[in-house]
Chain A
Amino acid sequence: MHPVVKYIIKRFGRMLLTIWIGLTITFIVSRSLPFNPADVLVSRLTSYALQLRPEELERMRRVIYDLFGLRDPIYVQYIKFLYGYFLGEMGPSFTYFPVKVSEIISASLPWSIFLLMQTSIISWLIGNFLGVVAALSKHRRFTKGVEYFAMGLQPIPFAIFAIAYLIFYVVILKGSIPAGEIMRGKPIIEVMLIAFRRSIIPLTAMVIWGWMGNFLGMKSLAMKLKNEDFVEYAKLRGAPQRTITWYVTRNAITPQFTYLLLSLGMIFTGAALVEYLFSYPGIGILLVTSVLNADYNLMLGIVYMSIVGVAIAAFILDIIYPIIDPRIRYPGQ
Chain B
Amino acid sequence: MKLPSIFKDRSFLIPLSILLGIVVYIIVYPALFIRVDPTRWYVVPKGLPPSQDYPFGTTLTGQNIADLVPIALRNSIVIGGTTALTSIAIAVVLSMLVVLVRKGVTATMTFIDTMCTIPPLPVLIVLLYGWRDYITMPLIGLILSIFGWAWPSRALISILSSLRERTFIHTSYLSGLPTYLIMVKDFIPYILRYILIGFVNLSLWGIGMETTVAMFGAMRMDIPTIGTTLYWSMHFQAFILGLWWWYMIPTLFLIVFILSLYALGVKLDEYLTAGV
Residues of A at the B interface (CB closer than 8 Å) are 14, 17-18, 21-22, 25-26, 29-30, 32-35, 152, 155-160, 163, 166-167, 170-171, 261-262, 264-266, 268-269, 272-273, 276, 283, 287-288, 291-292, 294, 296, 299-300, 302-303, 306-307, 310-311, 314
Q: Within 8 Å of chain A (Cβ to Cβ): is B5?
A: no
Q: Within 8 Å of chain A (Cβ to Cβ): is B131?
A: yes
Whole-angstrom CA separation of A160 from B215 in the bound complex: 10
- Which residues of B in the span 184-234 have a Cβ within 8 Å of any Cβ on A? 200-201, 204, 207-209, 211-212, 215-218, 227, 230, 234
Interface of A is mostly: helix
Contact of A291 among B113, B125, B211, B258 (CB under 8 A): B125
Q: Is there contact, CB below 8 Å, between A269 and B212?
A: yes
B2 to chain A, nearest CB (A): 31
Given A157-B207, A160-B251, A287-B216, A22:B234 Cβ within 8 A: no
B247 to chain A, nearest CB (A): 7
Closest to B239 in A: A167
Given A155-B204, A155-B262, A171-B240, A299:B129 Cβ within 8 A: yes
- Of B46-54, B84-92, B114-122, the stretch lying at the interface with chain A is B114-122
Closest to A268 in B: B119
B interface residues, tally (CB under 8 Å): 48
Contact of B116 among A156, A166, A265 (CB under 8 A): A265
What are some 9 contacts across the A-B interface (CB < 8 A)?
Answer: A29-B126, A33-B126, A157-B258, A160-B211, A163-B234, A268-B119, A269-B209, A303-B126, A307-B122
Contact of A299 among B118, B122, B215 (CB under 8 A): B122
Whole-angstrom CA separation of A24 from B240 in the bound complex: 43
Q: Is there contact, CB below 8 Å, between A265 and B207?
A: no
B63 to chain A, nearest CB (A): 19
Closest to B208 in A: A157
Contact of B114 among A21, A158, A287, A291 (CB under 8 A): A21
Closest to B122 in A: A303
Q: Is there contact, CB below 8 Å, between B119 and A306?
A: yes
Closest to A10 in B: B110
What is the count of residue pairs linking A and B with beta-carbon distances less than 8 angstroms? 140
Q: Is there contact, CB below 8 Å, between A18 and B117?
A: yes
Q: Within 8 Å of chain A (Cβ to Cβ): is B123?
A: yes
Q: Within 8 Å of chain A (Cβ to Cβ): is B130?
A: yes
Q: Which residues of B contact A292 (CB under 8 A)?
A: 217
A304 to chain B, nearest CB (A): 8
Contact of B239 among A29, A171, A261 (CB under 8 A): A171
Q: Which 10 A-B pairs have the closest CB atoms?
A: A157-B208, A33-B130, A268-B119, A269-B121, A303-B122, A159-B211, A265-B119, A155-B262, A159-B212, A262-B116
Q: Which residues of A contact B165 (CB under 8 A)?
A: none
Q: Which residues of B contact A261 (CB under 8 A)?
A: 117
B221 to chain A, nearest CB (A): 11
Given A159-B208, A292-B217, A264:B117 Cβ within 8 A: yes
Whole-angstrom CA separation of A297 from B110 in the bound complex: 29
Residues of B at the A interface (CB closer than 8 Å) are 110-111, 113-123, 125-127, 129-131, 133-134, 151, 154, 200-201, 204, 207-209, 211-212, 215-218, 227, 230, 234, 239-240, 247, 251, 254-255, 258-259, 261-262
Q: Is there contact, CB below 8 Å, between B216 and A25?
A: no
Whole-angstrom CA separation of A29 from B130 in the bound complex: 9
Whole-angstrom CA separation of A283 from B154 in the bound complex: 29
Whole-angstrom CA separation of A3 from B184 in the bound complex: 41
Q: Is there contact, CB below 8 Å, between B121 and A34?
A: no
Whole-angstrom CA separation of A264 from B111 in the bound complex: 16
Which of the listed residues A21, A35, A158, A269 has the most CB atoms from chain B within 10 Å of its own CB? A269
Which of the listed residues B123, B230, B234 has the most CB atoms from chain A within 10 Å of its own CB? B123
Q: Which residues of B contact A17 (CB under 8 A)?
A: 110, 114
Q: Is there contact, CB below 8 Å, between A310 and B134?
A: no
Closest to B203 in A: A155
Q: Is there contact, CB below 8 Å, between B125 and A287?
A: yes
Given A156-B255, A273-B212, A33:B122 Cβ within 8 A: no
Whole-angstrom CA separation of A264 from B119 in the bound complex: 8
Whole-angstrom CA separation of A269 from B215 in the bound complex: 12
Whole-angstrom CA separation of A18 from B115 in the bound complex: 8
Given A163-B247, A276-B216, A291-B216, A299:B117 Cβ within 8 A: no
Q: Which residues of A contact B119 (CB under 8 A)?
A: 264-266, 268-269, 272, 306-307, 310
Which of the listed residues B118, B212, B230 has the most CB atoms from chain A within 10 Å of its own CB? B118
B86 to chain A, nearest CB (A): 18
Closest to B114 in A: A18
Q: Is there contact, CB below 8 Å, between B255 and A160?
A: yes
Whole-angstrom CA separation of A22 from B116 in the bound complex: 12
A-B contact sample (8 more), CB < 8 A, given A269-B121, A296-B126: A14-B113, A21-B115, A159-B212, A163-B251, A167-B239, A261-B117, A269-B212, A273-B216
